[in-house]
Structure 1
Amino acid sequence: MDSLLKRWWDEEEESDDDDLFVVGAILTGLKRKQSEKKFRGSLPGRHNVQRGIQGGHQRLYLDYFAPQPVYNNKHFRRRFRMSKSLFLRIAAALEAHDEYFRQRPNAVGALGGSPIQKAAAALKMLAYGVPADFLDEYVRLGESTIIECLQHFVRGVFDVFGEEYLRAPNVQDTQRLMAMNTARGFPGMLGSVDCMHWRWDKCPTAWKGMYTGHKEGPTMILEAVASHDLWIWHAFFGMPGSLNDINVLRRSALFDRLTSGTAPQLEYTVNGNKYTMGYYLADGIYPTWATFVKAFRNPQGNKKVHFTAAQEAARKDVERAFGVLQLWFAMIRGPARMWSKEDIWYIMQACVLLHNMIIEDEREDEDDFNYNQKGTVTKVLDPKDYEHRDPQLLEEFLKMHQEIEDKSTHEQLRNDLVEHLWAIHSSR
């Protein structure tokens, strides 16, 4: 066939161009077909692994979910990073949301993996950062199936729980943050902000220059805001590792609600001065804005030395959150081995979301906070209780940005906090 076409090509060299194009396309298709890898499917000669999927489900059920399981709740919490009740809640929600997690028969009538089997495989990959085929021996699912489980798991978790557990602070959350941080000596504080790099092992060669910065190898950046209880209130992920924290800040949505007037409005006093915007504790690279409080680079005097120590200690909240996040989910502690940026983005978002779910599930009941402690008056207003800013008006937008980036307010707030913390320290 191939020689016949070549001879036809030689004979028709001087024929119509359309005929030459057709013959050339046929020859190209034949060469491509010969070079393609032949997948045998279920033909004789292909090695088909008889995994016993139902046996994997039965083993998982007897180990953890039976009335008298082999391993108790403590073992489950250690190996799956969350309580059994939370895991079952997630598995049930995914089964209702995504048809992929429902147990269905295949073409020959054999049942596939169960919801807890697929969820357990995905969660173990996140928790241990192991390759997919490493889990085959226990969950009895193939490598490609486990990767599909992971992809459906992270997308399903984000779709079902993202609105609740990746939300920005509402009025109740803001009141709780205000009370929590006022007790620590930082009235008006909403959390601490910083960035974390995640190495991308499978970064395409053409992109390595853009994603390589001061860290070794190509990385992707996560900007986060965390509170003292390690809850992550803001997660902005996906920027190339060649950017620094200021470049990431300029692209993130950290202050979008504040500029549009949809964030809860604060009113609090520090050292006798009134402020109407919350702030974040940040390190030295961040700009001197009214919404950031930074430590002194070279503090002089007891008051500034004390303030710098207190600020650096409280700013470690976000560093602790990063550490716990990587401890619970080893996949984001090691290099990312996925090819798709979209898959990597969903994995990071799902890990942050699951982190917050675990924090909420294990949070102990706390006593009521005193919202008006000595020396401070804190008030939180719902957006519906004050005039809503029109984000389409350029004047309002620019005015709010000027207030956010006001250097004089930053200096005044920091000096007031210096006096406030020193007064607390002196009264003890």
Structure 2
Amino acid sequence: MSSSSSSDSTAIEETKFIGSVMAKTIAYYQNRLGETSRARSKLRNPQLRRNHEVGHYRLIEDYFADDAIYAVKFRRQFRMRKEPFLCIVGDLEGRFPYFQWKMDTERVKGFSPIQKCRATIRQLAYGMGADKWDEYFRMSECTVRECVYEFCKAIYLVYGQRYLRKPTINDIHQLYTVHEGKHGFPRMLGSIDCMHWSWSLCPNAWRGQYTRGDHKEPTIILEAITSHDLWIYHAFFGPNSANNDINVLDQSPIFNHIYLGKSHDVPFQANRVAYKRGYYLTDGIYPPLSVFVKSFTCPNDPKIKEFKEAQESARKDVE
């Protein structure tokens, strides 16, 4: 009996000891968490009184008033004319609550549609940081990023069905007719080429793969197809500058609709040879495919010289 009672008392003491250790441990970490949260609250930046309306009226005075200060620089700063910009602002404001000028819970006016669209266009056009325009637009970094996301999503929903699409059969016939009348190339769909976009804010870890010897700073490649009226109905953006046009073409989804059997075949004949679809004007680096019409390197025949000049002139649409 004595041995059993001593073992029971030992177990009780061990249980009490373990319980006291656990209680002290929990109390210790609770105090640490409380100190950390208090320290974070002290380090947290205070809410700034940015006065959104001041930023709006400054923007109106600089670019949109009848006697705007920088009216002559509108196209350079916005990368478009005033009329298309105001049309975009009106379309987004009328369809999406995010771009409407509303008041918050404190009855303070938020950002205007012009402020949100202007901050987005500025960041997309110049590729600078989201906190670059805080002093002028009175916008925080997270707000500018949110504006960019909502703007891109809204643009796709509003204009995607009209502009961001593949040509239909009617579009193809119209392209055939216009290109033949303007450039003299029958059954021409457009011009394809690649260009390099400067990326001055490229992360240091990626600079090696996005830098080429013929460019002073990192660049990103854009592959595009455009028509006579600068309708860009194909754009493949993102490959690093170490690629050439052929490497970009291998990665591009330009011919995926043909592989999947979803292309619109509008056949024609040239020199008694039947072709299923039209062609694109390219420079000399592209592979010898039936969908590509390239120029000649060193022509000697007068007819070939004339063709070379016409082909290079028509290809300027995309360049």
Range of TM-score over shorter length: 0.7 to 0.9
1:254 positional shift: 1.3
Q: Give the partner amino acid of 2:293.
A: V
Secondary structure in 2 aligned to 1:318? coil
Aligned equivalents of 1:150, 1:275: Cα separation in 2: 43
Matched residue type, 1:158: Y
Query: Which residue of structure 2 lines up, in the alignment, with residue 113 of structure 1?
Result: 111
RMSD across aligned positions (CA): 3.8
The structure-2 alpha-carbon separation of the partners of 1:212 and 1:61, relative to structure 1 and needing over 3 Å to count, comes to closer
Q: Cα offset for 1:289?
A: 0.5
What is residue 325 of structure 1 aligned with on the other side?
A: none
The Cα offsets for residues 141-193 of structure 1, whole Å up to 9 and x where unpaired, read as 33443343233323332343233212111122212211122122211111111
| 1:126-141 pair list within 5 angstroms | 126-127=124-125, 132-133=130-131, 135-141=133-139
Q: Which secondary structure does the structure 1 equivalent of 2:160 belong to?
A: helix
Separation (CA, whole Å) in 2 of partners of 1:64 and 1:199: 27
- The residue type equivalent to 1:118 in the other structure is K
Q: Is residue 187–residue 268 contact of structure 1 (8 Å, CA) maintained in 2?
A: no
Within the alignment, does 1:102 sit opposite 2:100 as a pair? yes
Matched with 1:229 is: 229
In structure 2, distance between residues paired with 1:147 and 1:245: 32
Q: Deviations over 1:319-344 (max 9, x none)?
A: 1xxxxxxxxxxxxxxxxxxxxxxxxx
Q: What does 1:252-267 align with in structure 2 at a 5 Å threshold?
A: 252-267=252-267
2:178 corresponds to 1:180: yes
1:300 aligns to what?
A: 300
Aligned partner of 1:86 in structure 2 is 84
Per-residue CA deviation, residues 87-119 of structure 1 (Å, 9 max, x unaligned), is 333224334555432334345332211222211
8 Å CA contact 1:73–1:84 kept in 2: the answer is no
Q: 1:166 aligns with which of 161, 164, 167?
A: 164
User: Offset of 1:209 from its aligned partner?
Assistant: 3.9
CA spacing shift, 1:73–1:174, aligned 2, 3 Å: farther
1:266 aligned counterpart, secondary structure: coil
User: Is the alpha carbon distance of 1:89 and 1:198 closer, same or farther for their aligned partners in structure 2, counting shifts above 3 Å?
Assistant: same
Aligned residue in 1 for 2:197: 198
1:124 paired residue number: 122
Matches of 2:61 and 2:297, distance apart in 1: 58
1:235 CA displacement: 0.3
TM-score normalised by the chain length of structure 1: 0.57
1:8-407 aligned at under 5 Å gives the runs 38=40, 40=42, 49-61=48-60, 70=68, 79-95=77-93, 98-127=96-125, 132-133=130-131, 135-183=133-181, 184-214=183-213, 215-319=215-319
Q: Contact conserved, 2:267 with 2:277, CA < 8 A, in 1?
A: yes
Instruction: Please give the secondary structure, in 2, of the residue aligned with 1:88.
Output: helix
Letter in 2 for 1:195: C
SS at match of 1:148: helix
Q: State the distance in 2 between where 1:203 and 1:63 align.
A: 31
The separation in 2 between residues aligned to 1:207 and 1:75, in whole angstroms, is 34
Letter aligned with residue 275 of structure 1: Y
Larger radius of gyration: 2
Partner SS state of residue 196, structure 1: strand
For 1:151, what is the secondary structure of its paired residue?
Answer: helix
Question: Against the structure 1 CA distance between its residues 53 and 298, is the aligned structure 2 distance closer, same or farther, given a 3 Å change threshold?
Answer: same
Q: How many angstroms does 1:224 deviate by?
A: 0.6
Question: Which digits, 9 at most, give the CA deviation of each residue in 1:37-60, with x for residues without a partner?
Answer: 946477xxx565433212322344
1:186 maps to a residue whose letter is: F
For 1:264, the aligned partner's letter is H
**Structure 1 residues 54 and 206: alpha-carbon distance in aligned structure 2, compared to 1, 3 A threshold:** closer
State the Cα deviation string for residues 268-296 of structure 1 (Å, max 9, x = none): 33345443321111111110011111112
Partners of 2:217 and 2:170 lie apart in 1 by 42
Q: Which residue in 2 is equivalent to 1:379?
A: none
Give structure 1 stretches of 5+ with no counterpart: 1-15, 320-428
Please tell me the residue identity of whatever aligns with 2:167: P
Measure the CA separation in 1 of the matches of 2:273 and 2:191.
Answer: 22
TM-score (norm 2): 0.74
Q: Structure 1 residues 39, 302: closer, same or farther in 2, change over 3 A?
A: farther
**1:59-108 Cα shifts (integer Å, max 9, x gaps):** 44466667x66479877556534444433332243345554323343453
For residues 200 and 40 of structure 1, the distance between their equivalents in structure 2, rounded to whole angstroms, comes to 37
Task: Provide the rounded CA distance (Å) in 1 between the counterparts of 2:177 and 2:81.
Answer: 29
Q: CA deviation at 1:306?
A: 1.8
What per-residue deviation string (whole Å, max 9, x for no partner) do you get for residues 331-377 of structure 1?
xxxxxxxxxxxxxxxxxxxxxxxxxxxxxxxxxxxxxxxxxxxxxxx
Residue 188 of structure 1 aligns with an amino acid whose one-letter code is R
CA distance, structure 1, for counterparts of residue 229 and residue 173 of structure 2: 14
Identity %: 44
Classify 1:278/1:149 alpha carbon distance in 2 versus 1 (closer, same or farther; 3 Å): same
Q: Is 166-175 or 68-77 further displaced after alignment?
A: 68-77
- Contact 1:73–1:83, Cα closer than 8 Å, also in 2: no
Cα gap change, 1:107 to 1:289, in 2 (>3 Å): same
